[in-house]
Amino acid sequence: MIDRRTTGLATPWFHGWNIVAVAFLVQVFAVGLSTSVYGVYIDPMGTDLGASRFTSTLGFALLMAGLGVTSPIAGRLIERGSIRNLIVIGFIVLAASLLLLSLANHIFQVLIIYGVLIATGATLAGALPASTLVTNWFYSLRGRALGISTIGASAGGLLLPPVAALLIENFDWRVSFQVLAVACLIITLPIVWLVVANRPEDKGLHVDGAAQPVAPTPGDVRVEPALSMMGILRSRAFWGIALCVGLGNSVTSGVMVNIVPHAADMGHSPVHAAYLISVFTVGLVAGKLLIGAASDRFGLGMLWQVCLTMTGLGIVFLMYSASLPALIFACCLAGIGSGGYYPLMGMSIASSFPIASFSKVMGLVLPVLYLLAAPAAPLAGLVSDLTGSYSSAMWAALALLLIAGFIMRFVGGTRMAAKP
């Protein structure tokens, strides 16, 4: 670990924190304009184009599939080229996609745009390049920096859907896409172009803002050579991380989508039930910050178990609680645990693989995450339709969390100890 007390700081303000701010910003727009706002457009777009809700929602499934396909490709591009250029290209593609959506006259055009173009733009501009940048710029404070930057995805989910809904209400869905496309370009491109650099060395700086580079210790992943794709896929650490975060995120997806109807089954009004989504989202933000900061000091394996346990306890409270305060507590607990997965994923990859391979590894982890998370919400809904209750789905969620904990304990990476 870099000892900032002995090395000092090269500058009063470390440019790495500007990188964190940009990583936050790009995830607000890349995630917010791709996955977060989708539900806002289902009814107005479907009604205008004469499509059923089922057909309209197929675009989200295709978007998930597209994100999974493009992530490995983007990981290799990031490893070899300019991250700044790729983010710029990503936002140009994303904005052009929104403009094309505003011109669509058939639902199948919408499906193709989401599955191909928006997926490509969101991948090139979103979490993958953002996490790679933060990892390149930080070491001793990497967990805290990743925790802050990943909040951007949650912020996009909180801010952009209401904005999109307001634009639709005052104009229409086509105009809203056009406004969001222009705003996306105006806000993101100048900042990304001026601030982003792949590594601190590109600006004459050192990791964590140290005044001089710190000599690497034996086995330090910062200096190990990059791995091939087959080398990564043969790694026990890769499958441990990918399966753990994938199973954990599948539970998160199932809870977020189905918490409102579950609360309605408990006799709560739609308005009160909707509050639970906000509580869960606030928990996600808190988890990213708390677990991200803790990962700079404590063992990653232990923190994975803490997060999975907190999520599991939240599920148990959801199963056996009916009052609104108890449901709020359950959502807060599950949200904090779930929020921790995201900084821990980045920290686990950075601790178990050469830094030169970070983007390639994360690009291969994300398809596993999407594949495991995509069916969780509809399967939970199907269980509710067949049994009249979410209890069986919640028991299944607990089983998945147990499996994830077992995987991380016995199959996960060999470098999950506390940082020296």
Question: Does residue 283 share a domain with residue 391?
Answer: yes
Question: Does residue 256 share a domain with residue 110?
Answer: no
Global confidence as pTM: 0.78
Q: For the residues of 216-258, what is the DSSP string, one character each? A: PPTT-TTSSPPPPHHHHHT-HHHHHHHHHHHHHHHHHHHHHHH
What is the sign, positive or negative, of the torsion defined by CA atoms of 288, 290, 291, 294?
Answer: positive
Q: Is residue 2 a part of any domain in this protein?
A: no
Q: What is the pLDDT of residue 83?
A: 94
25 in Cβ contact with 151 (< 8 Å): no
Report the domain count for the chain. Answer: 2
Q: What is the pLDDT of residue 3?
A: 43
Q: Residue 33 in 3-state DSSP? A: helix
Question: Does residue 288 share a domain with residue 255?
Answer: yes
Q: From CA 383, how far away is CA 191, in angstroms rounded? A: 46
Q: Which residue, of 206, 239, 269, is where some domain finishes?
A: 206
Question: Does residue 270 share a domain with residue 158?
Answer: no
Q: For the residues of 303-354, what is the DSSP string, one character each? A: HHHHHHHHHHHHHHHHHH--SHHHHHHHHHHHHHHHHTHHHHHHHHHHHHS-
Q: What is the pLDDT of residue 124?
A: 95
Q: Residue 9 in 3-state DSSP? A: strand
Q: Which residue, of 147, 171, 206, is where some domain finishes?
A: 206
Of 377, 396, 270, nearest to 35 by C-alpha is 377
Question: Does residue 171 share a domain with residue 241?
Answer: no
pLDDT in tens, 181-222: 999 999 999 999 999 999 999 888 888 877 666 555 555 555
φ, ψ for residue 252 (rounded to 5)?
Answer: -60, -45
Q: Is residue 357 a part of any domain in this protein?
A: yes
Q: Which residue, of 191, 206, 221, is where some domain finishes?
A: 206
Q: Is residue 418 a part of any domain in this protein?
A: no
Q: Is residue 1 a part of any domain in this protein?
A: no
Q: Is residue 195 a part of any domain in this protein?
A: yes
Q: Is residue 224 a part of any domain in this protein?
A: no
Question: Does residue 341 share a domain with residue 396?
Answer: yes
Question: Does residue 201 share a domain with residue 249?
Answer: no
Cα torsion through 290, 295, 299, 304, rounded to 10: 60
Q: Is residue 373 a part of any domain in this protein?
A: yes
Question: Does residue 234 share a domain with residue 202?
Answer: no
Range of the domain at 109: 10-206
CATH of the domain at 132: 1.20.1250.20
One-letter amino acid at 43 equals D
Question: Does residue 176 share a domain with residue 233?
Answer: no
Question: Does residue 161 share a domain with residue 301?
Answer: no
pLDDT in tens, 387-411: 888 889 899 999 999 999 999 887 6
Q: Which two tokens stand for residue 237?
A: 């650490």
Q: Is residue 138 a part of any domain in this protein?
A: yes
Q: Distances in Å between the alpha carbon of 400 and those of 106, 386, 404?
A: 39, 21, 6
Residue ranges of the chain with pLDDT lower than 50? 1-10, 414-420
Question: Does residue 107 share a domain with residue 20?
Answer: yes
Residue 242 buriedness (CB in 10 A; 0-12 / 13-18 / 19+) = buried
The residues, ordered by sequence, that sit 6+ positions from 119 with a Cβ below 8 Å of its Cβ are 34, 62, 63, 65, 66, 67, 69, 70
Question: Does residue 236 share a domain with residue 198?
Answer: no
